[in-house]
Amino acid sequence: MSVQGRPVTVITTGTVLPAHAKAPANAAEQFLFDRAYETLVRADCRGRIVPQLAQRWTRNTDGFTFVLRGDARFWNGAPVTAADVIASWRASPSARVRALVDSSSAGNERTLSIATADSSVARFAAAGTAVTRESAERWPMGTGRYGIVESGGAVVLEPTFPTAARIEIRTATGVAARDAIDAGADVVLSGDPSILSYALRDTSRTAVDLEWDRTWALLVPGDATEDQSIATLRASLANDAVRAIARPAAVPDWVNDDASCPERAAPPRAPKRIAYSADDAIARAIVERLVAVGRGSAAAPLAPAAFATAVRDGTESAFVVGMPYHADRRCTTAALVPLIDARWQMVVRKRP
Amino acid sequence: MADGRQKTAVTFKTRALITLSAAALVPLAFLATGVRSQLRARLVADYERRLDAVARVAREDLARESAAIAKRLSAVARAMPDDEQFRTAVLRADPEARRYLLDYAGHAMELTGLAMLQIQDSAGRILSSGHFRNEFDRPDAATLRLVASARDTALLLAVRTPEAPLLALVRADSLRLSGRRFYLVGGVAADELQARVRRGDSTRVDVAWDLRDSVVPPEGAAFRVVNLRYANDTTLKPARLVLTQSRAELAGLERELNRWLIGAVGTAVIGVAVLAVWFARSLSQPMADLAQATTRIDLDGALVPLPVEREDEVGTVARRLDALATRLRASAGKLRAAERRATVGDMARQVNHDIKNGLIPIRNVLRHLGDVSERDPASLPGAFGDRRRTLDASVEYLDTLARNYAKLTPRVVHEPVDVNAVIRDAVVSASASSDGIVQLKLTEQLPPVHGDRVIVRRILDNLVRNAIESLDERGGRVTVTSARSPEGIIVTVSDTGRGMTAEELAHAFDDFFTTKADGTGLGLSVVRRLTSDLSGNIRVESAPGRGTTFTLDLPA
């Protein structure tokens, strides 16, 4: 990605926040995360689990034993030990990640044993298990090939190896995004069709589809009944309602395969107030459409924190929530109706 | 009081105070009431006029807003046929241009500043909505029909939005594309209209629509109504823009006015009261002083100064009183001189009479002795011896008479006199044969009297002796008191004797008037004269059978 010695400039319409370091909320943060933070293992482009921070792992009767890479280092050059992995998990905001600490033990500096009955190693590829260490900077210190600094309003990926170029990531929307594109941005990362369309008016650029990474679903506490028109609604939402690269939700396996949650895929029958997070434009568009077609009485935008609380406590009659496409959710007491999937595109310069 | 009726004494000062206060305060009260009434009436009228003006401006604003909406819709309608993407989207149903169509109303709404805009086909289906972007494809023919029927008039319409209905003032326009008609329904939020119509914080603007809203103005507030029409689901209904003018500002002005008036009236009342008191006092005090001074006027005593130097009416009265007192004093002097002359004449006649009475036996004896010496000289010694007793008695009588008249000649010396000591001497001397009769009630620490001690003694000798002599055989009591008075000392000599009749009382101090068989009638006359020589005063109270009291005022 080096551009003749100068930094690579990436323009994104999404926000890039330190708080999302272990839980990327969009493709831009995922782009950042992939380069700055590491988990023990990772899924490759075909979905196969391959080593990352761990050099190898073995499955035994009690669980897993991971052997860390010998050259694994934090950004400041300090070696990564099994104790660092456990300490990182202990400091995680996720209860599920913190739960790993009790079943983990460091055999030596590079060997980590984890007792678990779960036979899938994929859980150790989850972003929340990335190994980090507290830092004086805003961003936690990772073990990836790039460190993160902030400079001149941009989030900068500084390579820890000499042959790579710096990558400057700037957030811009609307006119500012178009101005940045016109100024010669090397990469445009966005889910906004209008921005992507504008970038592609420059015929020297081409679009690369990223993975479907987000799903928006209708969450209805309690029971609900089936509705056969949901397919039509999904198409309307994906094609017209949202300003995003979207498709009718391809219901993930974890929804359809779990026979213990038969009430899923059940939208509300009577019009009710539908809540969404006020900072989620796609959710807003979905709710607007649901209200427009009579599947809700009114839209209720809530502040993000209030929305999270409302979802947890079930204080609204219905919610539209955005979640990672591969969300590791299981059966809940709510009717969860996947509505649309969305993804971003990356617009890059064609090879000469 | 003599008739026994109880009358309330109203002093000149009180009358002056009441008169002055009434004279100042009644007009002031009328003035304050009148000013307050007039100002309040003007404030209320101004308040009503302002509300009328607000209502007039509101109607103008409404008409102007309606025209502006029409103008903006017309601009959008003119631009739409030239927009190729729009034409492609609506005429060819090009899916690539569909998003452009869905966002078209929103962009147009932003450009025109409208709060709602929807583009509908001839069947009423919403093709693009600016205020509710994802309402596309919803049929809304009824609304379109109502708004279009209003022609040149803006209507109130409750427009759907994702969160809540938006009450808007809307109009409609239309355009034709390739033989197909499309409609635009757009407008501004009623909230914006309310904010624009509202003039100042004191005006409240409410919209009553769909007959569900009843706007109740605050009690006492004035309001005006601007009529509108509201597009219900299927019909047009009356709606109202209710302009309410709070009376808080008016009430505040009235309170301020009242405060100022109360302050002004209160200040005036205090000022008038102070002035009235001062004026009444300045009028009454000189008169009271004059009245007090007149009580001290004594024709026989010292001159009493009157405020004759004043140039006002009091000065005039004082000067006339002073002149009157002067004339009275002169008349009294003349009267006393006349009395003196009369007294001297009486005395001369009395002396003449008394001397004659004394001389007649002597002359008779001398005639008898002359006859004896001529007829029988030898018997002259015997005859002289026989008549000598007559001669001695006559001479003694004349001598006594001379001593008595000698008592009428005063000789005054001025020295401090302890009156209580003199009283005790006089009582001891007079009650030598009447021990226990006289009772003393003397006030100690009295100031000395400046006068002649002998005179004081003579006065008290006479009074005490007279009192003792007035007692009859059954006995009685004489009481002598002394006390301090504003001018000096008061001495009283009282007895429980027979008392005097009114006739006797009237002549008690006359020369030679006596009720006693052996009295000379000069005792009390001398007492009065001696008292006058001391610049004092004596008065007597008596009634038959109830005793007599002499009160002696002696200046200190």
**Beta-strand runs (E) in chain A:** 8-12, 41-43, 49-51, 54-59, 63-68, 104-106, 111-115, 146-151, 154-159, 167-171, 187-190, 205-221, 245-248, 273-277, 298-302, 318-324, 334-349
pLDDT digits (tens, 9 = 90+) for A91-147: 998 888 898 888 898 888 899 999 988 778 888 998 889 999 988 888 999 999 999
Inter-residue contact A320 to A295 (CB < 8 Å): no
| Predicted local confidence at residue A56, as pLDDT | 94
Q: How far apart are the first and last CA of chain B?
A: 36
A291 interfaces chain B, CB cutoff of 8 Å: yes
The pair of structure tokens assigned to B66 is 């309606």
DSSP one-letter code for A3: B
Using CA atoms, how far apart are residues B419 and B530, in angstroms rounded to an integer?
15
Interface of A with B in 228-247 (CB under 8 A): 239-241, 243
Inter-residue contact B157 to B151 (CB < 8 Å): no
Contact yes or no for A240 and B134 at CB 8 A: yes
SS3 (DSSP) at A90: helix
Q: Which residues of B114-140 are buried (b: 16+ CB within 10 A; e: fewer)?
A: bbbbbbbbeebebbbbbbbbbbbebeb
DSSP B107-128: HHHHHHT-SEEEEEETT-BEEE
The pair of structure tokens assigned to B493 is 């000599």
Q: Which has the closest alpha carbon to B244: B230, B262, B265, B223?
A: B223
Q: Which has the closest alpha carbon to B149: B114, B174, B129?
A: B174
Among A73-77, A230-234, A333-337, B325-329, the range scoring the smallest mean pLDDT is: A333-337
* Whole-structure pTM value: 0.60
The single residue listed with the structure tokens 């460190």 is A147
Pairing of strands A8-12, A187-190: parallel
Interface test with B, best of A175, A240, A280, A286 (most B CBs within 10 A): A240
For A289, the closest chain B residue by CA position comes to: B134
Q: Which has the closest alpha carbon to A244: A147, A111, A125, A341?
A: A341
Interface of B with A in 105-134 (CB under 8 A): 132-134
Contact yes or no for A293 and B138 at CB 8 A: yes
Distances (CA, A) of B131 to B89, B113, B126, B185, B186: 20, 12, 12, 11, 10
User: What contacts B39, CB < 8 A, 6 or more positions away?
Assistant: B257
| Predicted local confidence at residue A225, as pLDDT | 47
Is pLDDT at A2 greater than 50 in this prediction?
no
The total of other beta-carbon atoms located within 10 Å of residue A182's CB is: 11
Say which amino acid occupies B129: S
The sheet with strand A111-115 has its strands ordered as: A54-59, A63-68, A111-115, A104-106
Give the number of C-alpha atoms closer than 13 A to the C-alpha of residue B394, restricted to the C-beta side: 18
SS3 (DSSP) at B369: helix
Contact yes or no for A240 and B164 at CB 8 A: no
Inter-residue contact A288 to B132 (CB < 8 Å): yes
Query: B-chain residues within 8 Å CB-CB of A298?
Result: 162-164
B165 to chain A, closest Cα gap in Å: 9
Q: Which has the closest alpha carbon to B157: B149, B165, B243?
A: B165
Q: Count interface pairs A-B at CB distance under 8 A.
A: 37
User: What's the Rg (C-alpha) of chain A?
Assistant: 22
Using CA atoms, how far apart are residues B152 and A309, in angstroms rounded to an integer?
50
Using CA atoms, how far apart are residues A73 and A67, in angstroms rounded to an integer?
14
Using CA atoms, how far apart are residues B414 and B334, in angstroms rounded to an integer?
27
Using CA atoms, how far apart are residues A91 and A96, in angstroms rounded to an integer?
12
Q: Which has the closest alpha carbon to B168: B58, B61, B66, B60?
A: B66
Mean pLDDT of A246-270: 57
| Predicted local confidence at residue B412, as pLDDT | 63
B100 interfaces chain A, CB cutoff of 8 Å: no
Q: Which has the closest alpha carbon to B203: B86, B96, B343, B52?
A: B52
The pair of structure tokens assigned to B486 is 């504003």
| Predicted local confidence at residue B3, as pLDDT | 45
pLDDT digits (tens, 9 = 90+) for A148-192: 999 888 999 999 887 788 999 999 999 999 999 999 999 999 999
Q: How far apart are the first and last CA of chain A?
A: 14
More confident residue, A77 or B6: A77
Task: Give the torsion through C-alpha atoms of A233, A234, A237, A243, to 10 deg.
Answer: 180
Inter-residue contact A287 to A272 (CB < 8 Å): no
The pair of structure tokens assigned to B353 is 């009479």
Distances (CA, A) of B188 to A288, B66, B170, B283: 21, 9, 7, 80
Interface of B with A in 156-175 (CB under 8 A): 160, 162-164
B204 interfaces chain A, CB cutoff of 8 Å: no
The pair of structure tokens assigned to A67 is 């052997």
Query: A-chain residues within 8 Å CB-CB of B106?
Result: none
How would you write B304-354 as a 3-class SS string?
Answer: CCCCCCCCCHHHHHHHHHHHHHHHHHHHHHHHHHHHHHHHHHHHHHHHHHH
The pair of structure tokens assigned to B372 is 């004896």
DSSP one-letter code for B448: P
Inter-residue contact B112 to B186 (CB < 8 Å): yes
The pair of structure tokens assigned to A277 is 């997070």
Using CA atoms, how far apart are residues B528 and B510, in angstroms rounded to an integer?
9
| Predicted local confidence at residue B102, as pLDDT | 94
How would you write B88-110 as a 3-class SS string?
Answer: HHHHHCCHHHHHHHHHHHHHHHH
The helix or strand, by DSSP H or E, that contains position B167, with its residue range, turns out to be: strand B166-177
Per-residue pLDDT tens, chain B, 556 aa: give them.
Answer: 344 444 556 777 788 778 877 888 888 888 888 988 898 888 888 888 888 888 898 899 899 999 999 999 999 999 999 999 999 998 888 887 888 999 999 999 999 999 999 999 999 999 999 999 999 999 999 888 888 888 788 899 989 999 989 999 999 999 999 899 999 999 999 988 888 877 666 778 888 876 555 666 666 677 888 888 888 878 888 888 888 877 777 788 888 888 988 898 888 888 888 888 888 888 778 888 888 888 877 776 667 778 788 888 778 888 888 888 888 878 877 777 777 677 677 667 666 766 766 677 788 888 888 888 888 888 888 888 888 887 887 787 778 777 767 666 555 667 889 999 888 877 876 664 556 788 899 999 889 988 888 788 878 888 888 888 888 777 788 999 999 988 889 999 999 988 888 888 888 887 667 777 666 666 788 788 888 888 888 999 998 888 999 999 998 8
SS3 (DSSP) at B459: helix
B507 interfaces chain A, CB cutoff of 8 Å: no
Using CA atoms, how far apart are residues B311 and B309, in angstroms rounded to an integer?
6
DSSP one-letter code for A290: H
Interface of A with B in 112-131 (CB under 8 A): none
Using CA atoms, how far apart are residues A290 and B188, in angstroms rounded to an integer?
25
User: What contacts A201, CB < 8 A, 6 or more positions away?
Assistant: none
A291 to chain B, closest Cα gap in Å: 6
Inter-residue contact A321 to A220 (CB < 8 Å): no
How would you write B423-434 as a 3-class SS string?
Answer: HHHHHHHHCCCC
Say which amino acid occupies A229: S
Given B98, B99, B162, which is nearest A288 (Cβ)? B162
Q: Which residues of A140-168 are buried (b: 16+ CB within 10 A; e: fewer)?
A: bbbbbebbbeeeeebbbbebbeeebbbbb
Interface test with A, best of B127, B131, B134, B137 (most A CBs within 10 A): B134
For A292, the closest chain B residue by CA position comes to: B135
User: Where residue A329 falls among pLDDT bands split at 50, 70, 90?
Assistant: very low
Question: Percent of chain A at pLDDT above 90?
Answer: 52
Backbone angles phi, psi at B498, to 5 degrees: -75, -25
More confident residue, B306 or A309: A309
